[in-house]
């Protein structure tokens, strides 16, 4: 197959441009029950019929957005790619984001890859106490969930590969707490053979061989869901989803 210099796919947004949508998807023709709209190169999905769910721009140096989840348990919003990246054909894959939390309570955050993406997007992982329930058959990323015993810490979860997905939270604890109003850079990489790596602020925190099935298509991005009757959110300075082009098709 012919190739060119455009071999690397990079979906990237600084969130400093004019394309930032309003607080929720209603103004973009979205009806209750969930749908999708676009923000730069990314899709935005979730319970977008709610006025507290969506994405707003922040008046902050360099351009930031606030990804606002929902005030209902397990309802929220996702910003990211479509389910189009195969580790085997497009690897290595990467998701990187610089993020900041206003608070660490009443929210569930996922940053990374997952293989299922409906309009009313569901949490790929649910967590309580010291247990992760791996809902999505294919996933690889960071979880921060206020329902965990270690509620302020990032956890490094995975599912779908020949290495069984770990459900005990202490076994995949990054020992790196999120701190309210302090930014962190989170990065997840998946090699073409399914091996995954997790980085926080440039430090390698975990490497797992065969973490995912390398033949399964993945979507990369950020998700935020509520846990109670208080709306959840996470702020992002930038989001990048990276892959190699598949020259075999």
- Looking at residue 142, its pLDDT comes to 98
Give the separation between CA 77 and CA 213, rounded to whole angstroms. 25
- Domain assignment present for residue 137? The answer is yes
Task: For residue 234, report the phi and psi dihedrals to the nearest 5 degrees.
Answer: -150, 140
- Looking at residue 210, its pLDDT comes to 98
- From 167, 83, 171, select the one nearest 132 (Cα to Cα): 167
- Domain assignment present for residue 3? The answer is no
- Domain assignment present for residue 157? The answer is yes
- Domain assignment present for residue 231? The answer is yes
Number of domains forming the structure of the chain: 1
Give the separation between CA 151 and CA 154, rounded to whole angstroms. 8
The pTM of the full predicted model, rounded to 2 decimals, is 0.92
Q: pLDDT digit string (tens) for 210-223?
A: 999 999 999 999 99
Instruction: Say which residues have a Cβ less than 8 Å from residue 180's Cβ, sequence separation at least 6.
Output: 101, 102, 103, 104
- Looking at residue 51, its pLDDT comes to 73
Answer whether 77's CB lies under 8 Å from 121's CB.
Answer: yes
Answer whether 63's CB lies under 8 Å from 188's CB.
Answer: no
Q: pLDDT digit string (tens) for 12-63?
A: 999 987 654 544 443 333 434 445 677 889 999 988 777 778 888 888 899 9
Token pair recorded at residue 82? 């479509």
Give bridge partners of residue 207 from the DSSP assignment.
197
- From 61, 32, 58, select the one nearest 119 (Cα to Cα): 32
- Looking at residue 2, its pLDDT comes to 63
- Looking at residue 155, its pLDDT comes to 98
Give the distance from CA 71 to its chain's centroid. 19
- Domain assignment present for residue 2? The answer is no
Give the separation between CA 199 and CA 180, rounded to whole angstroms. 19
Among 1-15, 109-123, 164-178, the range scoring the smallest mean pLDDT is 1-15
Q: Report percent pLDDT > 70 for the chain.
A: 91
- Looking at residue 52, its pLDDT comes to 74
Give the separation between CA 160 and CA 171, rounded to whole angstroms. 17
- Looking at residue 35, its pLDDT comes to 52
- Looking at residue 103, its pLDDT comes to 92
- Domain assignment present for residue 249? The answer is no
- From 99, 119, 100, select the one nearest 46 (Cα to Cα): 119
Give the separation between CA 57 and CA 15, rounded to whole angstroms. 7
Kindly report the CATH number assigned to the domain that includes residue 135.
2.60.120.560
Query: To the nearest whole number, what is the mean pLDDT of the chain?
Result: 90
Give the separation between CA 24 and CA 48, rounded to whole angstroms. 6
Domain that holds residue 16: 8-244
- From 181, 150, 160, select the one nearest 113 (Cα to Cα): 160
Question: For the residues 220-244, what does the mean pLDDT come to?
Answer: 94
Q: pLDDT digit string (tens) for 59-101?
A: 889 999 999 888 888 889 999 999 999 999 999 999 999 999 9
- Domain assignment present for residue 159? The answer is yes
């Amino acid at each position: 197959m012919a190739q060119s210099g455009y071999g690397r796919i990079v979906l990237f947004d600084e969130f400093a441009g004019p394309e930032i949508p309003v607080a929720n998807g209603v103004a973009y023709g979205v009806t209750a029950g969930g749908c999708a709209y676009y923000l730069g190169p990314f899709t935005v999905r979730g319970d977008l019929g709610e006025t507290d769910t969506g994405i707003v721009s922040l008046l902050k140096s360099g351009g930031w957005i606030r990804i606002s989840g929902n005030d209902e348990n397990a309802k929220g919003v996702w910003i990211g790619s479509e389910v189009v990246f195969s580790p085997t054909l497009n690897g290595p894959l990467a998701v990187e984001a610089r993020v900041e939390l206003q608070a660490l309570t009443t929210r569930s955050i996922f940053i990374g890859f997952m293989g299922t993406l409906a309009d009313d997007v569901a949490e790929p992982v649910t967590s309580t106490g010291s247990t992760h329930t791996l809902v999505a058959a294919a996933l690889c990323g960071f979880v921060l969930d206020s329902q965990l015993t270690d509620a302020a810490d990032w956890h490094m979860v995975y599912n779908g590969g020949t290495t069984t997905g770990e459900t005990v939270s202490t076994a995949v604890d990054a020992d790196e707490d999120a701190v309210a109003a302090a930014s962190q850079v989170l990065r997840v990489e998946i090699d073409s053979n399914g091996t995954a790596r997790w980085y926080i602020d440039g430090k390698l925190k975990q490497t797992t061989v065969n973490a995912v099935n390398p033949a399964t298509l993945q979507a990369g991005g950020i998700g935020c869901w509520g846990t109670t009757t208080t709306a959840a959110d996470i702020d992002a300075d930038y989001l990048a989803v990276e892959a190699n082009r598949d020259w075999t098709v």
